[in-house]
Amino acid sequence: METLYAITTGVLTACGLYLTLRGRTFPVVVGLTLTSYAVNLFLFSMGGLTTDGATIVHGDGNYADPLPQALVLTAIVIGFAMTAFVVILAMRARSEAGNDHVDGKKEDRE
């Protein structure tokens, strides 16, 4: 499970990074979203991955660390708000500048 988890996080981060570095606002927004997914997965794994454990402390000692779950919940909420904001911002930038380049330039169109 660890390997699969690590590969998923890595692929998400790589895709997110690549898209964030693009020149148009839409890929950038998608890239930021993918990065935040990757970060959430990463944060979730930081208490160690537990299979078949109780969600909180239970008598038998086999339990998942609850703190990363709380952190991820907070991070998801914040990330969601930020995505909503950046989508609106990208739309306004598109309507003000007349194109969807992050620098607002026209001549870079290929």
Partner 1 sequence: MMQHLIVLPVIVPLVAGILLLYQRQGLIRYKRTVSIIATALTLAVAIGLVNVATQGEIVYYALGDWQPPFGIVLVLDRLSALMLLVTALLAVGAVVYACAGDDEKGSNFHGLFQWQLLGINGAFLTGDLFNLFVFFEVLLLASYALLLHGGGKARIQASVHYVVLNLAGSSLFLIAVGILYGATGTLNMADMAQRLATLPAERQGLVTAGALMLLVVFGLKAAIMPLYFWLPRAYAAAPAPVAALFAIMTKVGIYAILRVYTLLFSDSAGALSALEQPWVWWLALVTLAVAGIGVIAARDLRLLVAYLVLISVGTLLAGVGIRTPEAISALLYYLIHTTLITGGLFLLADMIGQQRGKAGTRIVKGRPMVQGGGLALLFFIGSIAVIGMPPLSGAIGKALVLNAAEGTQRLWLWPLLLLASLASLIALSRAGSTMFWRSHRGSLSGSVLPRRQWLGVIWLLSTAPLLVALAGPISAYTQATAEQLTNPQRLIDTLLPDAEEAL
Residue 40 Cβ vs partner 1, minimum distance, rounded to whole Å: 8
Cβ nearer to partner 1, comparing 62 with 67: 67
Residue 11 Cβ vs partner 1, minimum distance, rounded to whole Å: 16
Binding site for partner 1 (CB under 8 A): 20, 25, 28, 32, 35-36, 38-39, 42-43, 46-48, 67-68, 71, 74-75, 78, 81-82, 85-86, 89-90, 92-93, 96-97, 102-104
The Cα 60–Cα 84 span in angstroms is 42
Supply the DSSP symbol for 101: B
Closest CA to 49 of 2, 86, 11: 2
The Cα 66–Cα 89 span in angstroms is 35
